[in-house]
Amino acid sequence: MKIINFTDIRSLLFENNTTKQTIFKNTFWLSLSEGIGKILRAFLIIYIAKILGAAEYGIFTFALAFVSLFVAFFDFGLSNILTREFSKNKTRENEFSAVLSLKILLGLMSIILIFITSFFITSDPGIQKIIWILAFFTFISQLPEIFYSFLRARQKMEYESWANILQVLLVVGCGFFVLFNFPSVKNISYSYLLASLTALIPFLLFFNFKILSLRFSFRIDIWRKFLATSWPLALISILGLFYSYIDSVMMGRWGLIIETGWYNAALKIISIVLVPQAIISLVFYPTISKLVEESKEMLQKIWDYQLKTLIFLAIPIIVGGITLSFKIIDFVYDSSFEPSILALQILLVMSGIVFLCGPFSQVLIAFNQQKKVFWAVFAGGIINIILNLILIPKYSLYGAAITTVITYSLILLMYFIFTSKFTSIKPFNFKILATFMKVIFASFLMYLTISIPLIYNLHVIAVVLIGFLVYVSVFLIFEFITRNFHQVLSKSTN
């Protein structure tokens, strides 16, 4: 698409014209909102850790990790099913009111569940109160997900982007105000709650008047229909959240509060690393769901493109992150968080595996094979619990990090097997192998470059930029060489 005037720009960023243009548009808006959101939230979390210290930060992350264990109950897999079904059949949009009502009911039940279980996880009244505040914050921040799913089905992710940006600006602004004026874990929790509620109200008004009129609908038949297909995804989310946060909850429960702070300091960096993976997954999922029934050939092409993109991003992040982990922790936090370095290095390996898991789980769900995803996640959950019980008492936060790597490695292996057997996708082919080899070689040259003392001793941001330029340059050179080689080869065979 040629960009000549303002109308062309408007068409590119606000309309759905072709598959490629729609993917670009959605990628642009989600990248903008996720980029702004993660960067600003990261700054806030970093200052929370610096101002409150590792112990107080450990309390906050322990409470938030405990509440996060219940996030799946707030949604129960409804959002993914709604996007899949509405993207296939727009006439089902009249069922949205019933799904929204079910979402609110599930959220209120989840708050009650968190309140009851909080008495069993800690006897400290102060921590219990923080858990309750964060439970209401989670309900309010999770509610828009059902609206975002509706917008994703329509491939109008620019609205989701705007809502996310508004929310993060309010949360971060309010958080910094409280942090610099009334610094405490409880006040920070209140600021999260207040800001999320303030952001939710204008979004609901916009959706009601511009997208679809909001109303409650207690349709048991529709609830039953959605829950019948969403429960495997709910179990998947429950297990996924369980082994994502249970390590922090275990450490907090066993009194390892400072270690919890160190571990979550590393996890916060990993959450930023995973932003591209989250964006790419959100952008590709509606298209993949749609192509399952329209074109198996185009589906394979789009799926390969998604996986190659994630390989291109994952390998240099692992290599560069591990190489610069000391400088990253020193830059982001301070010397009191030095124990986070090894945890970060281990978790970077996990992040690379998570990058690769996304396309496999998405295509399985698109083929209505969510039960297979459940069994993979279930097996990972069992291994996670066993290894955490063994490794955390021996190796503290490093045992938790190693457990996470092993868990996601098992899940990726099972995803690969299930995708090969139960979908039309061929998960391993020459194009993907070629991309992997080029990425490995480019990453190796990047590693050699940033390891040179003259470069390594520069500011961490400068080193990252140099590494990025070297990696991209080498990769593009290989792309140019292989493309020309194929052209010459095809001409000679003709």
pLDDT digits (tens, 9 = 90+) for 124-141: 888 889 899 899 988 888
Q: Please, are residues 454 and 438 in contact by the beta-carbon 8 Å criterion?
A: no
Separation between Cα atoms, residue 392 and residue 263, nearest integer Å: 12
27/276 Cα distance (integer angstroms): 10
Assign 3-class secondary structure to 114-172. HHHHHHHHCCCHHHHHHHHHHHHHHHHHHCHHHHHHHHHHCCCHHHHHHHHHHHHHHHH
Judged against a pLDDT cut of 70, whether residue 395 lies above it is answered with: yes
On whether the CB atoms of residues 29 and 12 are closer than 8 A, the answer is no
466/31: higher pLDDT: 466
Give the tens place of pLDDT for each residue, 291-328: 877 778 888 888 888 888 899 999 999 999 999 999 98
Element (H, E) at 427: none
Bigger pLDDT: 33 vs 139:
139
| Residue linked to tokens 């993207």 | 87
To the nearest 10 degrees (0 to 180), the angle between helices 257-273 and 370-422 is 50
- What's the N-to-C CA distance of the chain in angstroms? 32
pLDDT recorded at residue 350 = 92
What pLDDT does 451 receive? 92
Residues listed for the chain: 494
Supply the pLDDT for residue 18: 61
State percent of the chain over pLDDT 70.
Answer: 88
DSSP string, 403-416: HHHHHHHHHHHHHH
Annotate 392-425 with b (16+ C-beta within 10 A) or e (fewer).
Answer: beeebbbbbbbbbbbbbbbbbebbbebbeeebeb
Residues in Cβ contact with 211 at an 8 Å cutoff, skipping those fewer than 6 apart = 147, 150, 151, 159
CA distances from 373 to 99, 229, 415, 422 (A): 23, 13, 7, 11
Which residue in the block uniquely carries the two structure tokens 């009249």?
94
| Cβ neighbours around 250 below 10 Å, total | 20
Q: What is the pLDDT of residue 442?
A: 93
How far apart (Å, rounded) are the C-alpha atoms in residues 231 and 233?
5
3-state secondary structure of 458: coil
pLDDT at 315: 93
Q: Tell which residue, 218, 211, 213, has the closest CA to residue 99.
A: 218
pLDDT of residue 139: 87
Spatial separation of the C-alpha atoms in residues 7 and 12, rounded to whole Å: 9
Q: Contact at 8 Å (CB) between 345 and 322?
A: yes
pLDDT digits (tens, 9 = 90+) for 168-210: 888 888 888 988 888 888 888 888 888 888 888 888 888 888 8
The pLDDT of 394-406, averaged and rounded, is: 89
Query: Are 404 and 396 spatial neighbours (Cβ–Cβ below 8 Å)?
Result: no
Question: What pLDDT sits at residue 450?
Answer: 93
Cβ atoms 166, 203 nearer than 8 A: yes
Cα–Cα dist 41/170, whole Å: 11
pLDDT bucket at 374, cuts 50 / 70 / 90: confident
pLDDT tens for 45-91 read 777 877 887 777 778 878 888 888 787 777 777 777 777 777 766 77
- Give 256 or 487, the one with higher predicted confidence: 256
Average pLDDT along the chain: 81
Name the band, by pLDDT with cuts 50, 70 and 90, for residue 5. Answer: very low
Euclidean distance between CA atoms 110 and 113, whole angstroms: 5
pLDDT digits (tens, 9 = 90+) for 86-114: 776 677 777 788 888 888 888 889 889 98
Residue 248 burial (CB < 10 Å; 0-12/13-18/19+)? Answer: buried
> Taking a C-beta distance cutoff of 8 angstroms, is the pair 422, 360 a contact?
no
Q: Are 98 and 33 in contact (CB under 8 A)?
A: no
Share above pLDDT 90 across residues of the chain, in percent, rounded to a whole number: 16
Q: How confident is the model at residue 1 (pLDDT cuts 50, 70, 90)?
A: very low
